[in-house]
């Protein structure tokens, strides 16, 4: 039998699958920890077997946006009422105070990472953004080399926003770009020119932000090979340090705003994968190196250096340059991770605010990892960050791995992985199919009825 061509493989493995920012993935969570278990675990988090732990991380979700992008899959509240944002800052700081009271001074969190995400953190006016950051930083011990970052929408981000956070030590900025093509921007209701982005980039560089990330999306309505080429050309001129290049997830039954365009406007299947391939090749030609799944970085960026030093980590924020544990999520819908537990806050703004104001942690769901979960979580993390995993050591073994090994055989026959007796290594060709490879080790998917398929059809 001849080896399938790359286009045949792209077609064969074009099945939906998780992005594995957690294992188990959220739909399989069960056994939510009590608030007490969760808080106790923060003082004694579990330990990943990969990399050198750096310290704790805090993710703060700011849900507000002034207008709705039609592709959006985030937890947002569309409003122009900035007063609501001010009240929200008070509530998040009150939530942080609930954690601080429980963490004794000697256990004060050594903060390695603080990230403001959304929504749009720069929806908050600069004095309130600063108040939020200062209040959180006052309750932690910021370790040397900590990464303090924010996501920003270039359309509503001023120099004053960036200045307010730079003065507190923020050193990383992530901009939502998606695509520079005017027709695509019109369809997704997000119009932002290269000049507008250039101005924000320039402010950030002048204020000392050391790392700039751009988020791009492929698979948006009306995207074409030309629009991807033009977008990557503009990105190259703007010169970020790292990039995320995500596939658009079309779920209009969950996100009704995605009905603003029709399925016929969307590149799907092979056409969508082709856009990724074109973008990937152009980014690599421009000096960006592929890291894990959907991410690229310059060789000077800390993510690339972490990957070379085997120190890359992955959590709900995506890839981080070192293991960050525990991770505390503050704000509506935010998720925390202590390695042994996941915990998520209320997903609707009003109950979130009411519960915090009543003095309770606003947890609404979570998961207690089983012994099998912990082993498989480690292997999936190894694959997502280092393209390789081994289960030779007794505490990295689990009965499911025998079945996983069988599930990997077809992928090995297609040249995507090399199998060892107790382990596997992703081949250079297999990197594009990392999601499918991780799915082979996902016991939760394998046990659903019918079991999740790793590929759509044989070729
Ligand atoms: S700015 Fe981001 S979070 Fe807000 S609507 Fe657009 S995509 Fe969603």
Predicted TM-score (pTM) of the model is 0.94
Ligand 1 neighbours, Cβ below 6 Å, are: 65, 68-69, 72, 74, 76, 118-120, 153, 176
Task: Write the CB contacts of 170 (distance below 8 Å, at least 6 apart in sequence).
Answer: 133, 148, 149, 150, 162, 209
What separation in angstroms does the CA of 84 have from each of 88, 349, 357? 6, 11, 15
> Whose Cα sits closest to atom 8 in ligand 1?
72
The minimum-distance atom of ligand 1 relative to the CA of 67 is 5
Residues 146 and 55: beta-carbon distance below 8 Å: yes
Is residue 233 located within the same domain as residue 324?
A: yes
pLDDT, residue 6, reads 82
Residues 288 and 296: beta-carbon distance below 8 Å: yes
pLDDT, residue 459, reads 42
Question: 335: closest CA among 70, 74, 67?
Answer: 74
The answer to whether residue 357 is domain-embedded is no
The answer to whether residue 260 is domain-embedded is yes
Question: Token pair of 127, please?
Answer: 């004095």
The minimum-distance atom of ligand 1 relative to the CA of 71 is 7
Last residue of a domain, one of 335, 356, 382: 335
Last residue of a domain, one of 316, 335, 354: 335
* Pairing mode, strands 64-65 and 77-78: parallel
- Between the CA of 54 and the centroid of ligand 1 the distance, in Å, is 30
Choose the residue to mutate in 61, 120, 260 for probing ligand 1, maximizing ligand atoms within 8 Å of C-beta.
120
Question: Which domain does 72 fall in, by range?
Answer: 28-335
CATH of the domain at 205: 3.80.30.20
Is residue 107 located within the same domain as residue 198?
A: yes
* Pairing mode, strands 335-337 and 77-78: unpaired
CATH of the domain at 392: 1.10.10.920
Choose the residue to mutate in 76, 184, 185 for probing ligand 1, maximizing ligand atoms within 8 Å of C-beta.
76
Is residue 327 located within the same domain as residue 386?
A: no
The answer to whether residue 352 is domain-embedded is no
> Whose Cα sits closest to atom 2 in ligand 1?
119
The minimum-distance atom of ligand 1 relative to the CA of 119 is 3
Residues 275 and 228: beta-carbon distance below 8 Å: yes
The answer to whether residue 217 is domain-embedded is yes
pLDDT, residue 228, reads 96
**Structural domain count of the chain:** 2
Is residue 324 located within the same domain as residue 399?
A: no
Compute the distance between CA of residue 447 and CA of residue 456 in angstroms, rounded to an integer. 18
Compute the distance between CA of residue 86 and CA of residue 242 in angstroms, rounded to an integer. 32
The minimum-distance atom of ligand 1 relative to the CA of 118 is 3
Compute the distance between CA of residue 383 and CA of residue 389 in angstroms, rounded to an integer. 6
Is residue 221 located within the same domain as residue 128?
A: yes
- Between the CA of 323 and the centroid of ligand 1 the distance, in Å, is 28
Is residue 82 located within the same domain as residue 172?
A: yes
User: Residue 367: phi, psi to the nearest 5?
Assistant: -150, 140
* Segment-wise mean pLDDT, segments of 10 residues, the chain, 459 residues: 79 87 94 94 80 86 94 89 96 95 74 94 97 93 92 96 97 95 92 96 97 95 94 97 91 79 82 90 95 94 93 90 92 96 97 97 97 96 95 93 95 96 95 94 86 63
Last residue of a domain, one of 317, 335, 353: 335
Is residue 380 located within the same domain as residue 442?
A: yes
The minimum-distance atom of ligand 1 relative to the CA of 65 is 4
pLDDT, residue 107, reads 61
- Between the CA of 66 and the centroid of ligand 1 the distance, in Å, is 9
Compute the distance between CA of residue 422 and CA of residue 54 in angstroms, rounded to an integer. 29
Is residue 331 located within the same domain as residue 377?
A: no
Look at the chain and count its residues: 459
With helix as H, strand as E and coil as C, how does the chain read? CCCCCHHHHHHHCCCCCCCCCCCCCHHHCCCCCCHHHHHHHHHCCCCCCCCCCCEEEEEEEECEECCCCCCCCCCCEECCCHHHHHHHHHHHHHHHHHHHHHCCHHHCCEEEEEEEEECCHHHCCHHHHHHHHHHHHCCCEEEEEEEEEEEECHHHCCHHHHHHHHCCCCCEEEEEEECCCHHHHHHCCCCCCHHHHHHHHHHHHHCCCCEEEEEEEECCCCCCHHHHHHHHHHHHHHCCCEEEEEECCCCCCCCHHHHHCCHHHCCCHHHHHHHHHHHHHHHHHCCCEEECCCEEECCCCHHHHHHHCCCCEEECCEEECCCEEEEEEECCCCEEECCCEEEEECCCHHHHHHHHHCCCCCEEEEEECCHHHHHHHHHHHHHHHHCEEECCCHHHCCCHHHHHHHHCHHHHHCCCEEEECCEEEECCHHHHHHHHHHHHCCHHHHHCCCCCCCCCCCC
């Amino acid at each position: 039998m001849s080896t399938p061509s790359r286009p045949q493989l792209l077609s064969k493995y074009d099945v939906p699958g998780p992005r594995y920012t957690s294992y188990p993935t959220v739909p399989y969570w069960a056994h939510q920890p009590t608030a007490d278990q969760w808080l106790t675990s923060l003082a004694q988090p579990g330990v990943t077997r990969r990399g050198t732990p750096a310290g704790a991380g805090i993710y703060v979700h700011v849900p507000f946006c002034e207008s709705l992008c039609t592709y959006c899959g985030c937890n947002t509240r569309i409003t122009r009422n900035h007063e609501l944002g001010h009240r929200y800052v008070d509530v998040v700081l009150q939530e942080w105070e609930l954690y601080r009271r429980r963490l004794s001074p000697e256990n004060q969190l050594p903060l390695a990472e603080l990230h403001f995400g959304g929504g749009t953190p720069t929806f908050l006016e600069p004095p309130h953004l600063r108040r939020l950051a200062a209040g959180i930083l006052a309750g932690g011990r910021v370790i040397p080399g900590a990464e303090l970052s924010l996501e920003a929408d270039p359309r509503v981000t001023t120099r004053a926003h960036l200045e307010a956070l730079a003065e507190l030590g923020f050193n990383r900025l992530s901009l939502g770009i998606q695509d520079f093509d005017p027709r695509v921007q019109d369809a997704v209701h997000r119009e932002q020119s290269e000049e507008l982005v250039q101005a924000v980039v320039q402010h950030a560089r002048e204020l000392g932000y050391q790392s700039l990330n751009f988020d791009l999306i492929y698979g948006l309505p009306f995207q074409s090979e030309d629009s991807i080429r033009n977008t990557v050309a503009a990105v190259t001129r703007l010169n970020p340090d790292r990039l995320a290049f995500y596939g658009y997830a079309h779920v209009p039954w969950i996100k009704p705003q995605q009905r603003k365009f029709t399925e016929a406007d969307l590149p799907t299947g092979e056409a969508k994968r082709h856009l990724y391939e074109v973008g990937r090749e152009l980014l690599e030609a421009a000096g960006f190196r592929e890291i894990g799944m959907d991410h690229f970085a310059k060789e000077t960026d800390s993510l690339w250096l972490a990957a070379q030093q085997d120190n890359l980590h992955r959590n709900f924020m995506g890839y981080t340059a070192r293991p960050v544990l525990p991770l505390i999520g503050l704000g509506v819908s935010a998720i925390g991770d202590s390695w042994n537990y996941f915990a998520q806050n209320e997903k609707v703004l009003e109950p979130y605010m009411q519960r915090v104001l009543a003095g309770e942690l606003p947890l609404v769901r979570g998961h207690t990892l089983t012994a099998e979960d912990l082993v498989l979580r480690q292997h999936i993390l190894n694959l997502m960050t280092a393209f390789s995993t081994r289960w030779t050591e007794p505490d990295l073994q689990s009965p499911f791995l025998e079945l996983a090994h069988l599930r990997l055989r077809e992928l090995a026959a297609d040249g995507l992985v090399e199998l060892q007796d107790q382990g596997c290594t992703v081949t250079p060709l297999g990197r594009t199919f990392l999601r499918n490879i991780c799915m082979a080790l996902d016991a939760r998917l394998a046990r659903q009825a019918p079991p999740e398929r790793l590929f759509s059809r044989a070729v």
